[in-house]
Amino acid sequence: MAEQRRDPRGVRGVREGAQDVPESRGRGVRAEEADAWEALVATARRTVSDGLVVGTSGNVSVRVGDTVLVTPSGVPYDRLAPDDVTGVDLDGRQVLGGLVPTSELPMHLAVYRSTDARAVVHTHAVHATAVSTLVPELPAIHYMTVALGGPVRVAPYATYGTDELAENMLHALADRSGCLLQNHGTLTYGATLDQAYDRTAQLEWMCRLWLTASAVPGLSPTLLSEAQLAEVGERLRGYGQRG
Protein backbone atom coordinates (compact mmCIF):
# COMPACT_ATOMS: atom_id res chain seq x y z
CA MET A 1 0.00 0.00 0.00
CA ALA A 2 1.11 3.57 -0.61
CA GLU A 3 3.26 5.17 2.02
CA GLN A 4 1.58 8.01 3.88
CA ARG A 5 3.42 11.31 3.42
CA ARG A 6 1.99 13.91 5.75
CA ASP A 7 1.99 17.52 4.64
CA PRO A 8 2.92 19.74 7.59
CA ARG A 9 0.11 22.08 6.56
CA GLY A 10 -2.42 19.31 7.21
CA VAL A 11 -5.81 20.04 5.70
CA ARG A 12 -6.23 23.57 7.00
CA GLY A 13 -6.89 26.21 4.41
CA VAL A 14 -7.59 23.94 1.44
CA ARG A 15 -11.06 25.42 1.04
CA GLU A 16 -9.89 28.98 0.63
CA GLY A 17 -10.58 30.25 -2.85
CA ALA A 18 -12.22 27.00 -3.90
CA GLN A 19 -15.88 27.92 -3.50
CA ASP A 20 -18.32 30.48 -4.92
CA VAL A 21 -16.57 30.80 -8.26
CA PRO A 22 -18.66 33.31 -10.26
CA GLU A 23 -17.20 32.83 -13.72
CA SER A 24 -14.63 30.92 -15.72
CA ARG A 25 -11.15 31.68 -14.52
CA GLY A 26 -7.59 30.51 -14.90
CA ARG A 27 -5.79 29.09 -17.89
CA GLY A 28 -6.87 26.93 -20.81
CA VAL A 29 -7.28 23.16 -20.58
CA ARG A 30 -4.30 21.09 -21.67
CA ALA A 31 -4.70 17.94 -23.78
CA GLU A 32 -3.71 15.66 -20.89
CA GLU A 33 -6.28 17.34 -18.66
CA ALA A 34 -9.01 17.00 -21.29
CA ASP A 35 -8.33 13.26 -21.49
CA ALA A 36 -8.30 12.95 -17.70
CA TRP A 37 -11.58 14.86 -17.47
CA GLU A 38 -13.22 12.45 -19.91
CA ALA A 39 -12.08 9.50 -17.79
CA LEU A 40 -13.21 11.25 -14.59
CA VAL A 41 -16.72 11.86 -15.95
CA ALA A 42 -16.96 8.23 -17.08
CA THR A 43 -15.98 7.06 -13.59
CA ALA A 44 -18.44 9.44 -11.91
CA ARG A 45 -21.24 8.14 -14.13
CA ARG A 46 -20.26 4.59 -13.26
CA THR A 47 -20.77 5.28 -9.55
CA VAL A 48 -24.39 6.09 -10.39
CA SER A 49 -25.02 3.19 -12.78
CA ASP A 50 -23.48 0.73 -10.29
CA GLY A 51 -25.67 2.02 -7.46
CA LEU A 52 -22.88 3.49 -5.33
CA VAL A 53 -24.42 6.97 -5.28
CA VAL A 54 -27.83 8.55 -5.84
CA GLY A 55 -28.29 11.79 -7.74
CA THR A 56 -25.35 14.14 -7.28
CA SER A 57 -24.04 12.55 -4.07
CA GLY A 58 -20.44 11.37 -3.96
CA ASN A 59 -17.59 12.85 -5.98
CA VAL A 60 -14.53 11.89 -8.00
CA SER A 61 -11.17 13.53 -8.63
CA VAL A 62 -7.97 12.86 -10.53
CA ARG A 63 -4.56 14.51 -10.25
CA VAL A 64 -2.70 15.70 -13.35
CA GLY A 65 0.63 17.18 -12.34
CA ASP A 66 -0.15 19.73 -9.63
CA THR A 67 -3.73 20.21 -10.82
CA VAL A 68 -6.65 18.29 -9.33
CA LEU A 69 -9.67 17.82 -11.58
CA VAL A 70 -12.86 17.34 -9.55
CA THR A 71 -16.54 16.83 -10.15
CA PRO A 72 -18.43 20.10 -9.64
CA SER A 73 -20.95 20.65 -6.87
CA GLY A 74 -24.58 19.75 -7.50
CA VAL A 75 -24.32 18.91 -11.22
CA PRO A 76 -25.74 15.54 -12.37
CA TYR A 77 -22.95 13.50 -13.90
CA ASP A 78 -24.91 12.75 -17.06
CA ARG A 79 -24.97 16.49 -17.80
CA LEU A 80 -21.22 17.03 -17.54
CA ALA A 81 -19.62 17.99 -20.86
CA PRO A 82 -16.03 18.40 -22.06
CA ASP A 83 -16.28 22.17 -21.53
CA ASP A 84 -17.18 21.68 -17.86
CA VAL A 85 -13.61 20.85 -16.79
CA THR A 86 -13.23 21.91 -13.16
CA GLY A 87 -9.77 22.03 -11.60
CA VAL A 88 -7.94 23.41 -8.59
CA ASP A 89 -4.35 23.54 -7.43
CA LEU A 90 -3.18 21.69 -4.33
CA ASP A 91 -4.07 24.69 -2.17
CA GLY A 92 -7.67 24.67 -3.42
CA ARG A 93 -7.41 27.70 -5.71
CA GLN A 94 -9.51 27.21 -8.82
CA VAL A 95 -7.42 27.21 -12.00
CA LEU A 96 -9.82 25.62 -14.49
CA GLY A 97 -13.48 26.22 -15.27
CA GLY A 98 -16.34 28.24 -13.84
CA LEU A 99 -18.33 25.58 -11.98
CA VAL A 100 -17.99 25.44 -8.19
CA PRO A 101 -15.91 22.37 -7.19
CA THR A 102 -17.39 19.62 -5.03
CA SER A 103 -18.11 20.56 -1.42
CA GLU A 104 -15.89 17.63 -0.39
CA LEU A 105 -12.80 19.31 -1.85
CA PRO A 106 -11.03 19.36 1.56
CA MET A 107 -11.07 15.54 1.68
CA HIS A 108 -9.74 15.14 -1.84
CA LEU A 109 -6.94 17.65 -1.38
CA ALA A 110 -6.00 16.18 1.99
CA VAL A 111 -5.48 12.80 0.30
CA TYR A 112 -3.34 14.25 -2.50
CA ARG A 113 -1.25 16.29 -0.10
CA SER A 114 -0.64 13.32 2.23
CA THR A 115 -0.22 10.33 -0.12
CA ASP A 116 0.94 9.42 -3.62
CA ALA A 117 -2.68 9.14 -4.81
CA ARG A 118 -3.51 10.04 -8.41
CA ALA A 119 -7.26 9.49 -8.13
CA VAL A 120 -9.90 9.58 -5.39
CA VAL A 121 -13.44 8.18 -5.36
CA HIS A 122 -16.00 9.09 -2.67
CA THR A 123 -19.41 7.38 -2.59
CA HIS A 124 -22.49 6.94 -0.42
CA ALA A 125 -22.65 3.17 -1.03
CA VAL A 126 -25.53 1.64 0.95
CA HIS A 127 -23.88 -1.40 2.55
CA ALA A 128 -20.65 0.42 3.35
CA THR A 129 -22.54 3.30 4.93
CA ALA A 130 -24.61 0.84 6.96
CA VAL A 131 -21.42 -0.82 8.27
CA SER A 132 -20.04 2.61 9.20
CA THR A 133 -22.90 3.02 11.68
CA LEU A 134 -22.28 -0.33 13.40
CA VAL A 135 -18.56 -0.88 14.01
CA PRO A 136 -15.32 1.15 14.27
CA GLU A 137 -13.65 -1.11 11.70
CA LEU A 138 -14.86 -3.51 9.01
CA PRO A 139 -13.93 -6.99 10.29
CA ALA A 140 -11.59 -9.09 8.13
CA ILE A 141 -14.39 -11.03 6.48
CA HIS A 142 -12.52 -11.70 3.23
CA TYR A 143 -8.92 -11.89 2.08
CA MET A 144 -9.37 -8.88 -0.24
CA THR A 145 -9.13 -6.86 2.95
CA VAL A 146 -5.41 -6.91 2.16
CA ALA A 147 -5.97 -5.03 -1.11
CA LEU A 148 -6.97 -2.00 0.95
CA GLY A 149 -4.01 -2.29 3.31
CA GLY A 150 -5.76 -4.19 6.11
CA PRO A 151 -9.02 -4.00 8.07
CA VAL A 152 -10.83 -0.88 6.90
CA ARG A 153 -11.28 1.75 9.61
CA VAL A 154 -14.27 4.01 10.16
CA ALA A 155 -13.54 7.74 10.38
CA PRO A 156 -15.59 9.40 13.15
CA TYR A 157 -18.52 11.47 11.94
CA ALA A 158 -18.08 15.13 11.06
CA THR A 159 -20.15 17.46 8.91
CA TYR A 160 -19.56 17.01 5.20
CA GLY A 161 -17.20 19.44 3.49
CA THR A 162 -15.38 20.39 6.69
CA ASP A 163 -11.72 20.31 7.62
CA GLU A 164 -12.71 18.18 10.62
CA LEU A 165 -14.02 15.46 8.32
CA ALA A 166 -10.84 15.62 6.24
CA GLU A 167 -8.71 15.26 9.39
CA ASN A 168 -10.76 12.29 10.62
CA MET A 169 -10.48 10.66 7.20
CA LEU A 170 -6.68 11.03 7.12
CA HIS A 171 -6.34 9.25 10.46
CA ALA A 172 -8.54 6.38 9.24
CA LEU A 173 -6.53 6.17 6.01
CA ALA A 174 -3.14 5.73 7.69
CA ASP A 175 -1.45 2.76 5.95
CA ARG A 176 -4.69 2.12 4.05
CA SER A 177 -6.01 3.00 0.60
CA GLY A 178 -9.62 3.23 1.71
CA CYS A 179 -11.81 4.00 4.70
CA LEU A 180 -15.42 4.28 5.76
CA LEU A 181 -16.90 7.60 6.83
CA GLN A 182 -19.30 7.19 9.75
CA ASN A 183 -22.94 7.75 8.77
CA HIS A 184 -21.70 9.02 5.43
CA GLY A 185 -20.01 6.66 2.96
CA THR A 186 -16.66 5.57 1.56
CA LEU A 187 -13.42 7.05 0.30
CA THR A 188 -10.74 5.19 -1.62
CA TYR A 189 -7.73 6.27 -3.64
CA GLY A 190 -5.37 4.71 -6.16
CA ALA A 191 -2.71 5.22 -8.78
CA THR A 192 -5.43 5.46 -11.44
CA LEU A 193 -9.15 6.14 -11.61
CA ASP A 194 -9.77 2.47 -12.38
CA GLN A 195 -7.84 1.36 -9.31
CA ALA A 196 -9.57 3.85 -7.02
CA TYR A 197 -12.96 2.79 -8.37
CA ASP A 198 -12.19 -0.92 -8.09
CA ARG A 199 -11.20 -0.43 -4.45
CA THR A 200 -14.51 1.32 -3.79
CA ALA A 201 -16.46 -1.51 -5.42
CA GLN A 202 -14.47 -4.11 -3.47
CA LEU A 203 -15.09 -2.27 -0.20
CA GLU A 204 -18.83 -2.10 -0.81
CA TRP A 205 -18.88 -5.83 -1.68
CA MET A 206 -17.03 -6.76 1.52
CA CYS A 207 -19.42 -4.65 3.58
CA ARG A 208 -22.37 -6.38 1.97
CA LEU A 209 -20.77 -9.77 2.63
CA TRP A 210 -20.20 -8.99 6.32
CA LEU A 211 -23.73 -7.66 6.79
CA THR A 212 -25.20 -10.74 5.11
CA ALA A 213 -23.17 -13.19 7.21
CA SER A 214 -23.83 -11.26 10.43
CA ALA A 215 -27.59 -11.33 9.83
CA VAL A 216 -27.88 -15.12 10.30
CA PRO A 217 -29.52 -15.69 13.73
CA GLY A 218 -27.41 -17.52 16.28
CA LEU A 219 -24.24 -17.53 14.17
CA SER A 220 -21.24 -15.25 13.83
CA PRO A 221 -19.08 -15.09 10.71
CA THR A 222 -15.55 -16.46 10.91
CA LEU A 223 -12.87 -13.83 10.43
CA LEU A 224 -9.36 -14.04 9.02
CA SER A 225 -6.38 -13.76 11.36
CA GLU A 226 -3.45 -11.38 10.94
CA ALA A 227 -1.28 -14.34 9.90
CA GLN A 228 -3.79 -15.37 7.22
CA LEU A 229 -3.98 -11.84 5.90
CA ALA A 230 -0.18 -11.58 5.84
CA GLU A 231 0.03 -14.75 3.77
CA VAL A 232 -2.46 -13.32 1.29
CA GLY A 233 -0.43 -10.14 1.12
CA GLU A 234 2.61 -12.12 0.01
CA ARG A 235 0.62 -13.90 -2.68
CA LEU A 236 -0.97 -10.71 -3.98
CA ARG A 237 2.45 -9.23 -4.66
CA GLY A 238 2.84 -11.71 -7.50
CA TYR A 239 -0.78 -11.58 -8.68
CA GLY A 240 -1.73 -10.69 -12.26
CA GLN A 241 0.06 -10.55 -15.58
CA ARG A 242 3.76 -9.81 -15.88
CA GLY A 243 5.69 -8.02 -18.54
What pLDDT is recorded for position 69?
Answer: 98
* pLDDT tens figures, 91-121: 999 999 999 999 999 999 999 999 999 999 9
What pLDDT is recorded for position 7?
Answer: 46
* pLDDT tens figures, 121-143: 999 999 999 999 999 999 999 99
Average pLDDT, the chain: 90
β-strands 119-123, 67-70 pairing: unpaired
The answer to whether 88 touches 59, Cβ cutoff 8 Å, is no
Phi/psi for 189 (5° steps) reads -140, 165
C-alpha closest to that of 69 among 36, 21, 42, 30: 36
Q: Can you say whether the dihedral through the CA atoms of 173, 128, 19, 94 is positive or negative?
A: positive
How far, in Å, CA of 221 to CA of 191, rounded?
A: 33
pLDDT at 220 over 90: yes
pTM for the whole thing?
Answer: 0.88
| Comparison of pLDDT for 27 and 186, the residue scoring more | 186
Catalytic residues, by residue number, are 104
What pLDDT is recorded for position 87?
Answer: 98
In this structure, the dihedral spanned by the alpha carbons of residues 223, 232, 196 and 109, taken in order and rounded to 10 degrees, is 80
* pLDDT tens figures, 44-89: 999 999 999 998 899 999 999 999 999 999 999 999 999 999 999 9
C-alpha closest to that of 131 among 65, 184, 92, 61: 184
How far, in Å, CA of 86 to CA of 42, rounded?
A: 15
